[in-house]
Structures are given as C-alpha cells and as structure tokens.
Amino acid sequence: MPLPPLPLAGVRVIDFSRLIPGPWATQMLAELGADVIKVEQPGIGDPSRHTHPRYRNGSVYFNALNGGKRSIALDMLSDAGKEVAARLSRWGDVAVESFRPGVAAKLGIDYARLSKINSRLIYCSISGFGQTGPLSNIAGHDLVIQALTGAMGCAPDGSAPVPGFQAADFAGALFAVIAIQAALAQRAKTGAGCEVDIAMFEALYSMCFMPLSSEFARRAGHSGEPGLSVFGDNPRYSTYRTRDGRSVAVSLLETKAWREFCDAIGRPDLVSPDETPAERLSSHGERRVAYHDAIARYCSEHTWDELMQKMQRTGIAVCPVASSADALALAHVEQREMVTTVDHPGEGSIPQFVNPLWRAGLSLKHHEPAPELGQHTREVLEALGYSAGEITQLTTEGIACSSRTEGRH
C-alpha cells in the first residue's frame, strides 16, 4: 500500500533566513514535505556554516538545521540578484526571512514588494522583538530575549544563570511553523497570502504563564501570594547531588509520586494526608527543610547509575542530569529512534535528529543532508526560466554562484 503524500508536498518555501529560528523552522517544513530553497550570500553563506564544532569540513550547527534543503548562492545587493529573488518569490508559496526590521526592504524582499509580485505569497518574518514597537530595533539574541520575558528572573534567590538552551530561538521557530501551516490552510479557503510577524520575544513570552502568574493575579487586584514555587524553591522540584558527585533532578510534585517516594525511603511520616493541589506547587512552609533533607540524604546515598536504574524500575522521577554524551547514549533514545544517521557526500555518516512526527506519517524520518553553499544554484535558476546564457552571465559576474558539488545528491 503506497504511503500517503506528506502534508506539505508541492509547497515551495523560499528561505532567506540565517542562524537558528528561520533555518530550524524551514527544515521542519522540509521534513513535512516542502521544497525549501535556501538563499545564501555568495562566498560566505549562512554564518552558521562557520561555527564549531565541526565534522570533516562543515559545521555541526549548520548541518543540524539545514537538512533537506536546496541552496542557491545569490548576491541580493545587486539589481540582477534582486530580480532573481523576485522570480523566486513569484514561484514560491512561502517566504521566510529573519533580518532586523528594515533590512528586507533594503534588499527588495519585503512583504510590500513581494506581495505585489505574488498575492498568494505567505510571508513570514522572524525577528527578536517584532517589526514594530519600542524594542523592535534590538538585535534578536536569545539571551537578551529570555532575560526580558521574566523566565530568567524567577529564581527564588534572585540569581539569573545563563540558560543552557536557546528557548527563544526555538519558540520563535515553532510559532513560525504553526503560523505558516495555518496561513496555508487559510489560503486554501481565501486564495490570498498574508504577512506573518513572528517575534521570538512574543513567542517565548506567551509560554511564561508560570513565572508571571503572580503578576497576573496582582493585575486582577489580588495578592498573588502564595505564588507557584516550582523553580527550585520547592524541595520536591529541584536538583540534588549524588554519592559520586553528580546531579539529579527530582520531580515529585504529585501527591501520589511523593507518597511512593516516601514509602520507598522508609519515611511515610513525611506524607501530609490532607495535602491540597495548591500545596503541591508551594515551597511547603515548615515542612520544607524536612523534605529537602530527606531527598538530599537519599540522593547522596546513591550513585548516578543507581538512581537511573531505580527510576526506570520504579517510575519515581528522580532523574539523573545527563551530560551530552549521556543523553545521546540513552537506551530510550535508541529505542524511540530519536537520532539516526545520514550519509553526507562530503562528511561521511553523520548524526541527525529525527522529526517525532514521522510515526504518524506526517514527516520524513530521514531527510537529505544539508547542502553545500550554492549547490543547487544552476538547477534553481533553470527552474525559474533563466537560459543557459543568462545563467552563465549571472555566475560569471558573481551574482549567482554554484558550488563544485552541484547535483551531487
């Protein structure tokens, strides 16, 4: 029985974006079946091509975010390059850009211009703070955005450690994918494209209802106290040290889980028979020290490996904090097929994350490797209707560049 077509099969995406939010969003669109054309600056390409660590030649970062795309190297500062970009936009269904507000207009690829060329075009801008507002001119760096959402400032001791994950970048990317799919569904009904203004700040901010919950209550005229205490101040939702000096994360918020844990360590006296749902998410008042000491003692009596085995056996969520090597080596990752490999023509066999939607038949399980810079320039220009002579002129003048590996996969 033939497999059903992927949901975005036949959709063309013109990707003018760089670094994380745009490229990760467009890679997901490619995994959902879209044909993604990545437009890059000749000779340089996406800056993420040059980051460390590296495989044999290319960046791990770039390869993780640009699989399954075709690359065209195009000088959009030239009039001829702007014309190629216009043809791409006329040909495409979706355009994605991640420049600072105003830069796309200077390059001639803003929505006002491209929507006149293609009224069905869905145009998605991803920026730090959006296209308007007093913060819109600020560069969209993840750390600054996380700082302003309130997410970094909610630690009970007032500290603001640098986060280990680019939450704003990926939140912006996810909202972009959702918005583009919604816009495609809307266009199917109306026939018209639209402009989508994705601010990474707004995307992450909308997820911060827990750190901002007390302020919401105060805005409505209430005290906001006691507040949610799940960010380290709650001893049942914090990190502890093991006997071998490593860290574990303890998540025992539910009364049932707490009762099972206390029974397992021989401390049923720590269970409050009348604990309310609200108390589970509090700092636990006078019981806090006793809870903390009991959990700390239990963790300190076991090694990281022992706690991992106990968690798998009992289901009690006292979970070892994994290093990058630990995380890739988890049996769960292997069994769920969360990471696979791709045969890259220049790098050999390299790891690749698997889109979790593949099980439902909604995405590819294995996508093509990330392209070389300009690898598909010639074939894309031919698809746009340029003659062989015109393509030679564009490449000779350096307006469009082809890599030596074009057509290799």
What are the tens digits of pLDDT across the range 16-27? 999 999 999 999
Residues 352 and 279 in one domain: no
In a domain, 328, yes or no: no
What's the total number of domains in the chain? 2
133 and 278 belong to one structural domain = no
Q: In angstroms, rounded to a whole number, what is the distance separating the alpha carbons of residues 313 and 307?
A: 10
Q: From CA 144, how far away is CA 163, in angstroms rounded?
A: 11
On whether both 92 and 158 belong to a single domain, the answer is: yes
Q: How many CB atoms lie within 10 A of CB 236?
A: 25
Residue where a domain stops, chosen among 276, 295, 320? 320
Mean pLDDT of the chain: 94
- Among residues 302, 170, 304, 194, the alpha carbon closest in space to that of 248 is found at 304
Considering only CA atoms, give the Rg of the chain: 25
pLDDT of the residue at 154: 77
* Residue 141 lies in domain: 12-207+335-401
Q: How far apart are CA 173 and CA 167, in angstroms?
A: 10
Where does a domain end: 261, 293, 320?
A: 320
pLDDT digits (tens, 9 = 90+) for 45-102: 999 999 999 999 999 999 999 999 999 999 999 999 999 999 999 999 999 999 999 9
181-227, pLDDT tens digit by residue? 999 999 999 999 999 999 999 999 999 998 899 999 999 999 999 88
Continuous H helices in 268-385? 277-280, 288-300, 304-314, 324-329, 331-335, 377-383
Q: For residue 82, which phi and psi values (nearest 5 degrees)?
A: -65, -35
The answer on 157 and 68 residing in a single domain is yes
94 and 17 within one domain:
yes
Residues 264 and 353 in one domain: no
Looking at residue 357, the DSSP 8-state letter turns out to be G
Residue 82 in any domain: the answer is yes
Q: Does 406 fall in a domain?
A: no
Percent of the chain at pLDDT exceeding 70:
98
pLDDT tens for 100-135 read: 999 999 999 999 999 999 999 999 999 999 999 999
* Residue 240: count of CB within 10 angstroms of its CB: 20
The CATH number of whichever domain residue 159 belongs to comes to 3.40.50.10540
Residues 311 and 373 in one domain: no
Q: Is residue 231 part of a domain?
A: no
What pLDDT is attached to residue 273?
86
In this structure, are 163 and 272 located in the same domain? no
Note whether 192 and 287 are same-domain residues: no
Chosen domain end from 320, 350, 373: 320
pLDDT of residue 230: 62
Rounded to the nearest 5°, which phi and psi values hold at 248? -130, 150
pTM for the model stands at: 0.94
CA–CA distance, 42 with 296 (Å, rounded to integer): 56
Tell me if 374 sits within 8 A of 42, measured CB to CB: yes
Residues 185 and 263 in one domain: no
pLDDT tens digits, residue range 136-151? Answer: 999 999 999 999 998 8
The mean per-residue pLDDT over the stretch 267-285 comes to 89
On whether residue 127 sits in a domain, the answer given is yes
Q: How confident is the model at residue 408 (pLDDT cuts 50, 70, 90)?
A: very low
3-state helix, strand and coil shares in percent for the chain, rounded to the nearest 5? 40, 15, 45
CA distance 208 to 202: 10
Average pLDDT over residues 267-290: 90
Q: Return the SS3 of 122.
A: strand
In a domain, 302, yes or no: yes
The confidence score (pLDDT) of residue 409 equals: 36
Per the domain annotation, does 39 fall within a domain?
A: yes
pLDDT in tens, 278-289: 888 888 989 999
What crossing angle do the helices spanning 167-190 and 21-31 adopt, rounded to 10°? Answer: 50
Cα(74)–Cα(375) distance, rounded to whole angstroms? 12
Q: Could you tell me if 252 and 351 lie in one domain?
A: no
pLDDT-based confidence at 406, cuts 50/70/90? very low
Sequence-distant (6+) residues with CB within 8 A of 319 are 248, 249, 250, 251, 307, 308, 311
* C-alpha dihedral sign at 35, 39, 40, 42: positive
CB 130 within 8 A of CB 201: yes
Tell me: do 282 and 392 sit in the same domain: no
Q: Is residue 407 part of a domain?
A: no
